[in-house]
Chains A and B, each alone.
Chain A
Amino acid sequence: MPTTVTSIDPVTRLEGHLKIEVTIASDSGSQKVVDAKATGTMFRGLENILVGRPPDDAPDITQRICGVCPVSHGMAAVTALDKAAGLQAPDNARIMRNLVLGANYIQSHILHFYHLAVQDFIDGPNMPPWQPSWSTDKRVDKATTDVLVGHYVTALDMRRMAHEMGALFGGRLPHPPAFVPGGFTNSVRPDRISSFQSYLGVLIPFIQNTYIPDVEALASYYPDYYNVGGGTGNLMAFGVFDLDASGANKLLRSGRVQNASTAQQTMDPNQITEQVAYSWYANSTNNLKPSSGQTTPQFPKTNAYSWLKAPRYQNAPYEVGPLARMWVNGDYSRGISVLDRHLARAQETLKVALALQTWVAQLDPSAPVYKQYSTPEEGSAFGLTEAPRGALGHWVRINNHKIANYQVVTPTCWNASPMDNAGVHGPLEQAVIGTTVLNAAEPVEVLRVIHSYDPCLACAVHVMRPKEGVRVFALGAVPGA
């Protein structure tokens, strides 16, 4: 089978570092991706840095995993630490945590669509950093493109205001300092409640009248992308935004489905393991549950190609993210594709924004925000939540008042995971495989699939000759053998 070779490295407009190797084959005049390998190309070992530190440091240290979704790490950490200490944070704290998390959902989703993803479909302003760029398959007419470019600038203001809104309670963004075990540092000041409401008064109309219609307009130019980038069909959510002190009721519930069905199944965190057969970690740490997981780097390592571990649920890969959340919650069921991910994300933005309006009115300035927290001598617990880009879990073990073990399983580990012990590809790899490519020199279709997951990584895509097994990294189309 003739092949065409090209390379993309780095794939831009993502958070962080990820490389994907793609094999494109030419058959009967059309070109298709036949293999893909996702490679996380950055490892910092923050889990190992946490060992030996006081547990109180976990919310602040883990927020530095990601500057786009720090609040989710703060939330997961305080949830785990509250449980380990056997305490329940006051209602005001639960609500303020939700308000800051929700504000960051809004900023992250808007940033993703307008500033990271949309340039795969339209040309940005005619100057750096937006140009030069690839020109393949840009279908949107000039008038609509101009509108979307204008909205790019408006959306920068909107996401900034979402951060300002979150900072009213969180202290600042990114990396809010107000998430502490036992509750929240900030008090409930009435002037901040009304200021929060004023921001929502700007953001909600933007989401309703601009963001959602823009996604729908883009979809009308690219309807074929309802059939591109399906992935595994397995969707999972840990659930997020506790509606009561016990966390039993959530705005977006936990659960999972298999093979794109709507048949709900429960999600039991005990069924999660992390596999490292193809990851740069010691095989002695393979297939451990996160509660007893270890992070022991080994580089180089035969067959390994990523710094990401491969989390699996009962050995199966699962897609996580807004589409999975909305699907599991019964709010979205149109399909699983590039466009469905964008649409579900936009609709979720509105759902969260409207919920914030309700919650901010539930704050009680006369009630406590904090319950005295003391680090237990020992204990273990986990905190499950959802980052804007999908399910997030922190597992902590405390010994002698210090962190003895800490494991973080991020959404991008689920979505961009390398192959597992059985050699089964991760969801993003599966979604890229089978994608038809118009111009192998500019495989923008691959970018669109990658960006639809909103991965928290910077990517590199390589294309290799399948039969020779020799990776060739040259820009520009090279006629196939």
Chain B
Amino acid sequence: MRISRRDFFTYCKNSSAALALGTTQLGLLQKALAATTGPTVLWLQGAACSGCSVSFLNRIAPSAPATAADVLMQTVNLAYHPALMGATGELAVAQAKRAYDNGGYILVVEGGVPTAFGGNTCLAWTVQGKDTTFQQAVLDYSARASQVIAVGTCASYGGVAAAAPNPTGVKGVSAVSLKNTLNIPGCPPHPDWIVWAIAHLLTNSVGPLDCSNRPIGLYGQSIHQNCWRLAAYQANQHATAYGQDNLCLFDLGCHGPQTQAACPSTGWNNMANWCVDANATCLGCTSPAFPFAALRRTTNANNGD
């Protein structure tokens, strides 16, 4: 089942539209992947639900390497991932520590960073009787990383766990580490967005970021401006309730106009569907303010609201 780096390159080339890799970047990527071992990646999970990891596993591309397994087998050296790795206990932690000692790894963080209760509402691991809070692990491991990717809205900005009243004082990764961090928000992010981040970091071609530290190459356009139902909006054809096909969902409280994400072009789950095409309003899950004060427009009984 070995997939070569050459195949990964082929994938990137074939799907370069979605990945937005130019010819120069493709050349750089080929060079980066020519190393005998892929770049070391450490993937830490904090105040998270594992939805970002599960979404990553849903990756499928039009040509080899088609899947997450292919990326893991030949593209990167995933030295630490608590949900996927064979090692357990201190043998697992030792893999992270070895990378830490060498430095220069890519640190991927999934989940927010709890800071209340001394960080004790989320532990990363315990070694020799000493608990390490996730907050401490993020501080330590971001310090020696060459790059930090915050995968998902929780790691980027705090996300659902940081919603009012933020019971555990959750913050995004960069708010704790104060280090440059590439934010790839989404609850969860699309698998292609995660691969986009890795490929562009490897080729040093991430490009400009917006004021929320999201790459403009990926988050530069709103859901609304590329929405499949933009014509319905322009023709003032609005859905009045769920279950109505092809109509604009604006009156149901769609967050699409305020939400920067590539969903209309990447679709979801191998283009099986996406929120709007399921007549569900965009929930704005890539936004720094997600999940807002309310996610959907509500209708109350009695008061005619």
- Distance in angstroms between the alpha carbons of A70 and B120 in the assembled complex: 25
Quick one: which of A12, A175, A372, A377 contacts B83, CB cutoff 8 A?
A12
Q: Decide if B16 is an interface residue (CB 8 Å cutoff).
A: no
B143 to chain A, nearest CB (A): 21
Question: Complex: how many Å from CA A373 to CA B297?
Answer: 12
Asked if A460 meets B125 with Cβ closer than 8 Å, knowing A12-B87, A45-B167, A187-B279, the reply is: yes
Q: Is B20 an interface residue (CB 8 A)?
A: no
Distance of B261 from chain A, by nearest CB (Å): 12
Shortest CB distance B295–A (Å): 5
Q: Which residue of B is nearest A472, CB measured? A: B129
Contacting pair B161 A68 (CB below 8 A): no
Known interface pairs A54-B296, A175-B188; A185-B279 also in contact (CB < 8 Å): yes
Question: Of the 9-residue stretches A15-23, A322-330, A386-394, A421-429, which lies at the interface with chain B?
Answer: A15-23
Question: Is A29 located at the chain interface by the 8 A CB criterion?
Answer: no
Decide if A13 touches B49 in the complex (CB within 8 Å). no
Given contacts A43-B168, A65-B49, contact A172 B274 (CB under 8 A): yes
Contact between A129 and B86, CB atoms less than 8 A apart: yes
- Do A13 and B88 have beta carbons less than 8 Å apart? yes
Asked if residues B243 and A377 are in contact (CB atoms below 8 Å), the reply is no
| Binary B-proximity of A63-92 (CB < 8 A = 1, otherwise 0) | 011111010000000000000010000000
Could you tell me the distance between the alpha carbons of A341 and B129 in the complex, rounded to whole angstroms? Answer: 32
B122 touching A42, Cβ below 8 Å: yes
Contact between B273 and A160, CB atoms less than 8 A apart? no
From A12, A60, A157, A159, contact of B88 by CB (8 A): A12
| Contact B89–A10 (Cβ < 8 Å) | yes
Interface centre among B60, B82, B168, B270 (most CB of A within 10 A): B82
B67–A156 touching, CB < 8 Å:
yes
**B286 → A minimal CB distance (Å):** 13
Distance of A169 Cα from B273 Cα, bound (Å): 8
Q: Are B126 and A460 in contact (CB under 8 A)?
A: yes
B1 touches A150 (CB 8 A): yes
- Which residues of chain A are near B128, meaning CB under 8 Å? 7, 473-475
Q: Does A357 contact B (CB under 8 A)?
A: no
The 0/1 profile, CB within 8 Å of B marked 1, for residues 146-163 of chain A is: 000010110011011001
Q: Are B188 and A174 in contact (CB under 8 A)?
A: yes
Note all chain B residues with C-beta closer than 8 A to A13: 82-86, 88
With contacts A12-B92, A64-B51, A65-B49 known, is A172 near B273, CB below 8 A?
yes
User: Does the CB pair A9–B89 fall under 8 Å?
Assistant: yes
Q: Please name the residue on chain A nearest to B123 by beta carbon.
A: A41
Q: How far is the CA of A9 from the CA of B125 in the complex (A)?
A: 6
Q: A129 contacts which of B81, B91, B121 (Cβ < 8 Å)? A: B81
In the complex, B93 has a CB within 8 A of chain A: yes
Q: Are A7 and B126 in contact (CB under 8 A)?
A: yes
CB atoms of A307 and B121 under 8 A apart: yes
Stretch at the interface among A130-138, A219-227, A282-290: A130-138
Residue in A7, A171, A187 whose CB lies within 8 Å of B275: A171
* Distance of A66 from chain B, by nearest CB (Å): 5
Indicate whether A274 reaches chain B with its CB closer than 8 angstroms: no
- Say yes or no: B273 contacts A171, CB within 8 Å: yes
**Contact of B242 with A475 in the complex, beta carbons under 8 Å:** no
Complexed CA–CA distance, A149 and B67 (Å) = 15
Please measure, in the bound complex, the distance between the C-alpha atom of A171 and the C-alpha atom of B123, giving whole angstroms: 33
The answer for the CA separation of A168 and B278 in the assembled complex, in Å, is: 8
Q: Which of A444-471 contact B (CB under 8 A)?
A: 447, 458, 460-462, 471
Partner of A132, one of B91, B129, B241, B279: B91
Does the CB pair A16–B165 fall under 8 Å? no
Neighbouring A residues of B303 by C-beta, 8 Å: 401
Residues of A within 8 Å of B245, CB to CB, are 187, 189
* Inter-chain contacts of A45 with B (CB < 8 A): 161, 167-168
Known: A42-B121, A173-B58, A473-B127. Is A297-B167 also a contact (CB below 8 A)?
yes
Tell yes or no: A477 within 8 A of B by CB: no
Cβ-based interface call for A180 (8 A): yes
Among candidates B77, B89, B243, residue contacting A184 with C-beta atoms closer than 8 Å: B243
Check if B51 sits within 8 Å of A67, measured CB to CB: yes
The contact of A172 among B95, B159, B269, B296, by CB within 8 Å, is B269
Most chain B beta-carbon contacts within 10 A, residue among A16, A152, A171: A171
How far does the Cβ of A392 sit from chain B's closest Cβ, in whole Å? 14
The residues of B with any CB-CB pair to A shorter than 8 Å are 1, 45, 47-55, 57-60, 67-69, 72-73, 77-93, 95, 114, 117, 120-130, 159-161, 163-168, 170, 187-188, 241-245, 268-270, 272-275, 277-281, 283, 285, 291, 293-296, 298-303
20 additional contacts (CB under 8 A) given A7-B89, A123-B86: A7-B127, A8-B88, A13-B83, A13-B86, A43-B121, A43-B122, A44-B114, A48-B167, A49-B165, A67-B48, A167-B268, A171-B280, A172-B273, A178-B278, A185-B242, A185-B279, A372-B299, A374-B300, A460-B123, A473-B129
Complex A-B, nearest 6 residue pairs according to Cβ-Cβ distance, in ascending order: A67-B51, A45-B167, A171-B278, A8-B89, A133-B86, A172-B268
**Which residues of chain A have a CB within 8 Å of any CB of chain B?**
7-17, 19, 41-46, 48-49, 52-57, 60-61, 64-68, 70, 85, 111, 115-116, 119, 123-125, 127-134, 150, 152-153, 156-157, 159-160, 163-178, 180, 182-187, 189, 195, 297, 299, 307, 368-370, 372-377, 401, 447, 458, 460-462, 471-475
Residue contacts A-B, CB under 8 angstroms, 15 given: A7-B129, A13-B82, A13-B88, A16-B49, A48-B165, A60-B295, A129-B78, A130-B85, A153-B1, A167-B273, A186-B243, A369-B242, A369-B243, A458-B45, A473-B128
